[in-house]
Amino acid sequence: MKALIYDIKRFAVHDGPGIRTTIFFKGCPLECWWCHNPESRRAEIEHTQKINKLDGKKFTTQIQTGKPWKVEDLMKEIRKEKPFMFESGGGVTLSGGEPLFYPEYLEQVLDALRTENIHTAIDTSGYASEEIFTRLALKADLFLYDIKHMNNDLHKKYTGVGNITILKNLEFLHKSRIPVIIRFPLIPGINDGSNVIEMRNYLLDYCPEFKEIHILPYHNIASHKYRQFGIENKMPGQTEPSQRQINDVKNTFMESGFLVKIGG
Amino acid sequence: MNNRIKILREQSLNAVNSLSVERAFLITDFYKNHADQNDSVSVQRAKAFRYILLNKKINIVGDELIVGERGPAPKEVPTYPEISLHSLSDLDILNSREKVSYRVSEEMRLIYEKEIIPFWKGNSQRERIMIAQGKEWHQAYNAGIFTEFQEQRTPGHTVAGGKIYQKGISDLLSENQDGTEDGKAMRISGEAIIEFAGLYSNELRKMAALELREWRAIELLEMAEICKQVPAKAPRSFHEALQYYWFMHIGVLTESNPWDSFNPGRLDQHLYPFYKREIEEGKLTKERAVEILQSFWIKFNNHPAPSKVGVTAEESNTYTDFALINLGGLTADGDDAVNELTFVILDVIEEMRLLQPSSMIQLSRKNPDSFLHRTIKILKTGFGQPSVFNTDMIIEELLRQGKDIVDARNGGASGCVESGAFGTEAYILTGYFNLTKVLEICLNNGVDPVSKKFIGIETGAPEEFKSFDDLMSAYKKQLGYFLEIKMEGNRIIDQLFDQFIPVPFLSILIDDCIKNGKDYNRGGARYNTSYIQGVGLGSVTDSLTAIKFHVFDKRGISMSGLMDALKTNFEHYSEFRNELVYHTPKYGNDDDYADDQSLEVFEAFFSLVDGKQAYKKNSVFRINMLPTTSHIYFGKVMGATPDGRKAHQPLSEGISPSQGGDRLGPTAVLKSASKIDHSKTGGTLLNQKFSPRFFENEDSIQKLAGLVRSYFKLGGHHIQFNVVNSETLLDAQKHPEKYQDLIVRVAGYSDYFNDLGTDLQNEIIRRTAHSDE
């Protein structure tokens, strides 16, 4: 069995505890306006061009984004980092794209990792059917779980899907006592302001045990990738949040007893 | 830091580096007018040492707590005409050059012209060495195959052990074998240093009588007492222990100019018994201990390295004299040696922020994480200290060489990264060896393409190699040929040091010279080792890998095509160069396709050197892997290389990947670097750069600690971190005036960014930019 993977990042230090290897799956059911890795969106191999300069000359290189990986080959790659994972309390983070987009494959990888005692984290939007989600959730050690917007309509507008399934799956994790770190991409004018209060109140009411939240301030770093992959950038001129705004959001959560980190 | 230390620190930082004629004048005066020709060479050297000490200027700086200078004043550096004689033009260059200059007075120039040069011309050790070497040696040396440490400085490179904290010089001399000439010389030298301390004691007493501030008058009297007690007798207090060591330091550096600067080694271990007892008895406060340590730190900073002659600023030219304080590690019993004083000294390092002494931590798996975390917090401030060493590996290296377990545990690293048994070993660094240049010679069938001279052996035209193995076997033949020349050269040099430059004072400090009645330079030490330092592992690995990949496996270019590309410095081969730079497997990415070549070169280098007989009967050659700054010089003497490096660009340094060659981050680098067996070396150097942004998150300290621990579990010897961003460095290049205190990690040591040559600055900027990404 194979899945499309477009990057394997070693020494990933912002995707969960310790030193991790992050596996980026290619393919995502969401189309977030602020997506900073649009190359992960389509579940297909893509060929683009990259230009690099050397001695004042430009060279064009064909780049292939996405490669089918067999589980055993992926495990071989992951094993290279074992000394660092075990020493630092790290492990593997399955990210994307959307890792839950490949449920059977993901299940095999999670089983293989568990057999080798490697800590696993799933970095997800939470958008998956109840049947798939509940089966896979019990096989992971940690979830990095995005909450993008509390309003179902706005969620649908900005990501292409509503948030009902997502929140239901989150509540399942809470009920099953699976550790979760909430990740909140902060995008000025889209999900700041009252949405932050609403989200805090929701978490306090429905998932009171989830006390760690990472705020990921929007960075305008992906515009060249939108061009490269021929994907429409729906928010070109979007401003980045100010340090002050970030701190305000941070305080909102801290005051309610959350452990807050900026960035991963 | 308190006001007294602040003033001393400022004075030290602002003092102008200059040359002092004092020592040259005194040693010339001695050999001209006072030497007894009937005395043995050792006894003459000992008497010369005494003559210098008793006639040099006594100087007590400000309100310092540790006394004694090598020159007449801070940052006034003596010269050693009997070892390497500065010409008038050397003096003029040193006086006027932009980087790492030393002011030379008109008076000194005149004395050199009239007295020093006429007396020593033809009789300096450097001249003897150059005359004694054969044609092959000179050809290889001039081509930049290797450098020679001993041509300007004496074989020192050793570190004080623990015995001076238990015994006075008088006690040590009571074990002396006066039956030998070397033994007699040791006695004269030992008694001389006691007399020298007596002069300081008298001067301090006189100053106390004239001192108006009561507290300082009392302090001066205490210091006068200290100089009466040590080094004659065993130290009784923390303050006496440090003053004792400092007299030893001055003694060793007055006697000769050894590589690298002598140093106290395991300082926290040596001082802790004094610290603990006095704190418990209420005789010492932590504040006072810190003040004395800080004063001690400033003394090191007052002593820039002796200036070189003849050579350019490329090869290891710096004010840094490579004294490396070791902290932590294991006790003689093999237990965790970290104590409360270890942390006090780490505080001192962070607060003093001085170039010298350099500092490192020895990290054993038995040491607590708090020790490593504290160190990383200092590293985060970005001045490159302390570096981090794997004690468990150092011990394994020393044991492999046949050393006793207790001697191994009492050892550590000195200079840049060099393992040694402190207080019991003469470990001589003989020079850097250009592993990549040997490939260049090999690809030209014995000819150096830069000078067009035939300097190697014929191993066949590369176009005729049928397989990659043919190339490797030709490379190994060339390697063996040049290593033999290097080793033979060092046997000759060691013999000249045996004959002309015994070091009786240093011999007192290194066991078992006293017991054997034999000088340090004559095999008196318990262990004797001569190291050759391999340079350019990353570059030679990538070059060989590129040939394997493009010529033999992919067959995308013929060997003659490749040779043409190299000859023309890639002038019409920019597309091919793009392939080499961006699309060819490289060392540092945990990819066996490339790393296999690093292993093969390393193993060949090791087996051609390790265990070979050196000059002294009880001495053998061994290898280590460190460059200091020689990778710049070694790159300068080379044309383009198959890894895509253009002519005259720097080589890779230490066992780090080629600049920009690592693309998968630090864990992949560490995996590649740990594939070679570090226990077969006497030290390896690995440089990792981090942008300050990495440290913004508190978790990063934990993660970096995990990175270090993992590398050490994989068998790594040493790792150092540079934490600075390229914008800062670029700005510093433009406005050096704004960055006079900017210290960066170079290679095994830190230096002021402003003092680095432009090439080296550029290289550091390039590497740093890479880590910003």
- Looking at the DSSP bridge assignments, the partners of residue B719 are B388
At B20, list the tokens: 């002092």
Q: Could you say which of B240, B255, B350, B418 is catalytic?
A: B418
User: How is B12-44 classified by DSSP, letter by letter?
Assistant: HHHSPPEEE-HHHHHHHHIIIII--TTS-HHHH
At B481, list the tokens: 């040929």
With beta carbons under 8 A apart, name residues in chain B contacting A14: 697
Is there a contact between A19 and B710 if contact means CB atoms under 8 Å apart?
Answer: yes
With beta carbons under 8 A apart, name residues in chain B contacting A55: 574, 577
Q: What is the pLDDT of residue B768?
A: 67
- The Cα of B709 is separated from the nearest Cα of chain A by a number of Å equal to 7
With beta carbons under 8 A apart, name residues in chain A contacting B700: 13
The answer, yes or no, to whether residue B693 has pLDDT greater than 70, is no
With beta carbons under 8 A apart, name residues in chain B contacting A59: 575, 578, 582
Cα distance between residue B47 and residue B41, in whole Å: 10
Poorest-pLDDT segment among B59-63, B589-593, B655-659, B728-732: B728-732
Can B418 be counted among the known catalytic residues? yes
The answer, yes or no, to whether residue B772 has pLDDT greater than 50, is no
Alpha carbon of residue B65 to chain centroid: 27
Residues B668 and B662: beta-carbon distance below 8 Å: yes
Exposure on the CB side of residue A147, measured as CA atoms within 13 A = 26
Alpha carbon of residue B574 to chain centroid: 39
Per DSSP, B553 falls in state I
Cα distance between residue A200 and residue B208, in whole Å: 71
- Rounded (10°) angle between helices B125-132 and B468-500: 140
- The Cα of A131 is separated from the nearest Cα of chain B by a number of Å equal to 36
Here the ipTM equals 0.93
Nearest one of B158, B142, B274, B248 to B194, comparing CA atoms: B248
Cα distance between residue B60 and residue A200, in whole Å: 67
Is there a contact between B709 and A88 if contact means CB atoms under 8 Å apart?
Answer: yes
Cα distance between residue B182 and residue B498, in whole Å: 11
Is there a contact between B575 and A59 if contact means CB atoms under 8 Å apart?
Answer: yes
pLDDT tens series, chain A, 264 aa = 899 999 999 998 889 999 999 999 999 999 999 998 899 999 999 999 887 778 788 898 898 999 999 999 999 999 999 999 999 999 999 999 999 999 999 999 999 999 999 999 999 999 999 999 999 999 999 999 999 999 999 999 999 999 999 999 999 999 999 999 999 999 999 999 999 999 999 999 999 999 999 999 998 777 788 988 999 999 988 998 999 999 999 999 999 999 999 876
Residue of A nearest to B670 (CA): A84
Residue of A nearest to B667 (CA): A11
Q: Please name the member of B575, B667, B709 whose beta carbon is closest to the beta carbon of A11.
A: B667
- The Cα of A30 is separated from the nearest Cα of chain B by a number of Å equal to 28
What b-and-e string marks burial along A162-183, b requiring 16 or more CB atoms within 10 Å of the CB? Answer: bbebbbebbebbbeeebebbbb
pLDDT digits (tens, 9 = 90+) for B195-243: 999 999 999 999 999 999 999 999 999 999 999 999 999 999 999 999 9
Is there a contact between B590 and A261 if contact means CB atoms under 8 Å apart?
Answer: no
Q: What is the pLDDT of residue B771?
A: 54
The answer, yes or no, to whether residue B403 has pLDDT greater than 60, is yes
The answer, yes or no, to whether residue B739 has pLDDT greater than 80, is no
- Which residue ranges form the domains of chain A, and what is each CATH number? 2-262 (3.20.20.70)
pTM: 0.94
Is there a contact between B699 and A13 if contact means CB atoms under 8 Å apart?
Answer: yes
Residues 706-745 of B with CB under 8 A from A: 706-707, 709-710, 713-714
Q: What is the pLDDT of residue B536?
A: 97
Cα distance between residue A218 and residue B594, in whole Å: 39
SS3 call for B366? coil
Percentages helix, strand, coil for chain A (3-state, rounded to 5) are 35, 25, 35
Give mean pLDDT, residues B235-256: 98
Is there a contact between A9 and B665 if contact means CB atoms under 8 Å apart?
Answer: yes
Is there a contact between B581 and A89 if contact means CB atoms under 8 Å apart?
Answer: no
Cα distance between residue B734 and residue B338, in whole Å: 43
Cβ-based neighbours of A205, under 8 Å, separated by 6 or more: none
Residue type, A106: L
Residues B310 and B301: beta-carbon distance below 8 Å: no
With beta carbons under 8 A apart, name residues in chain A contacting B590: 80
Q: Could you say which of B151, B396, B416, B763 is catalytic?
A: B416
Q: Is B172 in CB contact (< 8 Å) with chain A? A: no
pLDDT digits (tens, 9 = 90+) for B138-189: 999 999 999 999 988 999 789 999 999 999 999 999 988 778 999 999 999 9
Q: Is A229 in CB contact (< 8 Å) with chain B? A: no
Give mean pLDDT, residues B306-331: 79
Cα distance between residue B375 and residue B389, in whole Å: 12
Q: Binning pLDDT at 50, 70 and 90, where does residue B738 land?
A: low
C-alpha angle with apex A157: A154 to A160, nearest 5 degrees? 125
pLDDT higher at A62 or B390: B390
Can B416 be counted among the known catalytic residues? yes
The answer, yes or no, to whether residue B573 has pLDDT greater than 80, is yes
